[in-house]
């Protein structure tokens, strides 16, 4: 039978052996880069990138089908309002215009003929018919008197009556002609209507001919030229793209977390990638009322009071907008925060040699650093090495 003291010694030996095995098999700690959080006063700013937005882009095309005769400008050329850009062939439409003008001239001649020739002639015929009616009526009356006295037969009286009826019919016809040829008459109205239709045909032919000349809608720069002489163009087919002159603007996307720093009329400092040392001012003129759900950003548009000469459409641009001074803030490099763009952001903290996952709540983002609102405390050693997973044994590099 084993005594109590001996039993204790055996248990102790077994524990020591187990501990030795554990420490032999335990993995070595992985060397990691860490950053120790400290409180500091920070001047906040918003940094975002975007591009130069042209005032407007216009796709220029033809409204008719035709063959390109001449292209008057090249890419990069500056054009003024109304300047010829593309000339289409014109012979067929020129012929149509000449034909329409000939029809109009005939219609004009007919209007003048009605007013200056047909109407006076009709009035003269009416006057003659009135005289004939008076003469016939006198002859009829006289023949009646002679027949009463027996000097002529009744047949002579009947002939006189027929002459009166004929004269009256001729008078009625002449009055109809006068009415038809007058300003409100059917003949005159028809002639004027034909003239109106002919003038409309001329205007239509002139408009179609004018469509063979494609001109600049406003002062602009030619960004792209699509057609060449000899090409067949169709209605609504793009020929050129123009950038209209006007004030340039910047369009940038800002993280929605920086909304508290955004305000209409605030001035930002902007630079373009091609000229990074040349800084210029831009003023916030528009803040989108919505947030891009896929990117978590807010669109800003900024006016440029004094645009530099080197500024061109679609240039990549960066802006920096100064914010308030944060006193005793906790900041971490953005690379230290995992799943930063999601609602489940976290960091790995070196606690007693083990990578411990800690959920965090972030605030403003500025120049590659992020304000920490919750989850970490001063002197926490946050792991920067991205390959490390939670639960791993770690050791900070010296």
| Domain-embedded: residue 23 | no
| Domain-embedded: residue 387 | yes
pLDDT tens-digit profile, the chain (398 residues): 455 566 666 767 666 665 555 444 556 888 888 889 888 888 777 888 899 887 778 899 988 889 999 999 998 899 999 999 999 999 988 899 899 899 888 888 877 766 666 667 667 776 776 777 788 778 778 877 777 777 777 777 777 778 878 877 776 777 776 666 666 666 667 777 888 888 899 899 998 889 899 999 989 889 889 999 999 988 878 999 998 887 788 999 988 877 877 888 888 999 988 888 899 999 999 998 888 888 888 999 999 988 888 888 788 898 888 777 778 888 888 888 988 877 889 999 999 889 899 999 988 777 778 888 889 899 899 988 888 888 889 888 87
Tell me if residue 215 falls in helix, strand or coil. strand
Contact 157, 147 (CB under 8 A): yes
**Which secondary structure element, helix H or strand E, spans residue 331, and what is its range?**
strand 316-333
Q: What are the phi and psi torsion angles at 117 (to 5°)?
A: -125, -55
Task: Specify whether 194 is located in the same domain as 232.
Answer: no
Task: Specify whether 200 is located in the same domain as 309.
Answer: no
| Domain-embedded: residue 333 | yes
Cα separation, 146 vs 140, in Å, equals: 10
The domain boundary residue, chosen from 185, 210, 235: 210
Which pLDDT does position 1 carry in this prediction? 47
In 87-118, which ranges are continuous DSSP H helix? 91-113
Tell me if residue 201 falls in helix, strand or coil. helix
Task: Specify whether 273 is located in the same domain as 391.
Answer: yes
Task: Specify whether 201 is located in the same domain as 235.
Answer: no
Which pLDDT does position 186 carry in this prediction? 65
Task: Specify whether 104 is located in the same domain as 168.
Answer: yes
Task: Specify whether 221 is located in the same domain as 234.
Answer: yes
- In angstroms, how far is CA 111 from the centroid of its own chain? 49
Which pLDDT does position 4 carry in this prediction? 58
The pTM (predicted TM-score) of the whole model is: 0.47
Task: Specify whether 78 is located in the same domain as 226.
Answer: yes
Task: Specify whether 238 is located in the same domain as 264.
Answer: no
Task: Specify whether 330 is located in the same domain as 234.
Answer: no
Residue 329 sits in a domain of what CATH number?
Answer: 2.40.30.170
| Domain-embedded: residue 363 | yes
146-193 pLDDT, tens digit each: 777 777 777 777 777 788 788 777 767 777 766 666 666 666 677 778
At what angle are helices 186-210 and 154-181 packed, to 10 degrees?
A: 20
Cα separation, 385 vs 29, in Å, equals: 13
Which pLDDT does position 191 carry in this prediction? 74
Cα separation, 70 vs 88, in Å, equals: 7
How, if at all, do strands 394-396 and 30-32 pair? parallel
Task: Specify whether 171 is located in the same domain as 116.
Answer: yes
- Split into its structural domains, the chain has a count of 3
| Domain-embedded: residue 21 | no
User: Whole domain around residue 201: which residue ranges?
Assistant: 92-210
Task: Specify whether 264 is located in the same domain as 372.
Answer: yes
| Domain-embedded: residue 2 | no
Cα separation, 163 vs 137, in Å, equals: 8
Which pLDDT does position 24 carry in this prediction? 47
Residue 325: name the closest of 251, 279, 266, 261 by CA.
261
Residue 187: name the closest of 272, 122, 98 by CA.
122
Instruction: Say what the alpha-carbon torsion angle 191, 192, 194, 195 is, to the nearest 10 degrees.
Output: 120
| Domain-embedded: residue 41 | yes
Cα separation, 11 vs 17, in Å, equals: 10
| Domain-embedded: residue 1 | no
Task: Specify whether 223 is located in the same domain as 275.
Answer: no
339-383 pLDDT, tens digit each: 887 788 999 999 988 989 999 998 877 777 888 888 989 989 998
């Amino acid at each position: 039978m084993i005594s109590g003291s001996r039993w204790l010694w055996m248990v102790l030996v077994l524990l020591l052996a187990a501990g030795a095995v554990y420490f032999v098999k335990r993995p070595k700690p992985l060397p990691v880069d860490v950053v120790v959080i400290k409180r500091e006063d920070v001047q906040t700013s918003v940094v975002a990138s975007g591009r130069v937005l042209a005032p407007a882009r216009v796709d220029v095309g033809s409204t008719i089908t035709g063959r390109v005769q001449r292209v008057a400008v090249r890419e990069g050329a500056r054009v003024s309002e109304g300047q010829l850009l593309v000339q289409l062939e014109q012979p067929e439409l020129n012929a149509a215009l000449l034909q329409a003008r000939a029809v109009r001239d005939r219609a004009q001649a007919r209007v003048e003929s009605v007013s200056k020739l047909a109407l006076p002639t009709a009035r003269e015929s009416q006057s003659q018919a009135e005289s004939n009616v008076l003469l016939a009526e006198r002859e009829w009356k006289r023949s009646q008197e002679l027949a009463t006295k027996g000097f002529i037969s009744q047949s002579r009286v009947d002939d006189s009556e027929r002459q009166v009826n004929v004269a009256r019919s001729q008078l009625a016809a002449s009055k109809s002609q006068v009415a038809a040829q007058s300003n409100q008459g059917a003949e005159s109205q028809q002639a004027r209507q034909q003239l109106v239709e002919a003038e409309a045909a001329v205007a239509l032919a002139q408009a179609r001919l004018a469509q063979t000349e494609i001109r600049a809608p406003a002062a602009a720069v030619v960004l792209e030229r699509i057609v060449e002489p000899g090409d067949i163009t169709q209605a609504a087919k793009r020929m050129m793209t123009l950038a209209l002159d006007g004030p340039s603007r910047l369009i940038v996307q800002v993280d929605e977390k920086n909304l508290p720093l955004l305000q209409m009329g605030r001035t930002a400092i902007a630079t373009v990638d091609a000229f990074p040392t040349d800084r210029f001012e831009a003023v916030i003129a528009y803040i989108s009322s919505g947030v891009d759900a896929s990117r978590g950003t807010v669109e800003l548009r900024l006016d440029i009071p004094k645009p530099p000469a080197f500024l061109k459409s679609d240039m990549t641009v960066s802006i920096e907008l100064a914010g308030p001074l944060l006193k005793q803030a906790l900041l971490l490099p953005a690379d230290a925060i995992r799943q930063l763009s999601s609602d489940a952001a976290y960091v790995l903290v070196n606690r007693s040699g083990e990578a411990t996952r800690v959920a965090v709540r972030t605030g403003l983002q500025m120049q590659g650093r992020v304000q920490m609102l919750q989850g970490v405390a001063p002197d926490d050693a946050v792991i920067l090495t991205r390959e490390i997973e939670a639960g791993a044994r770690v050791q900070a590099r010296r």
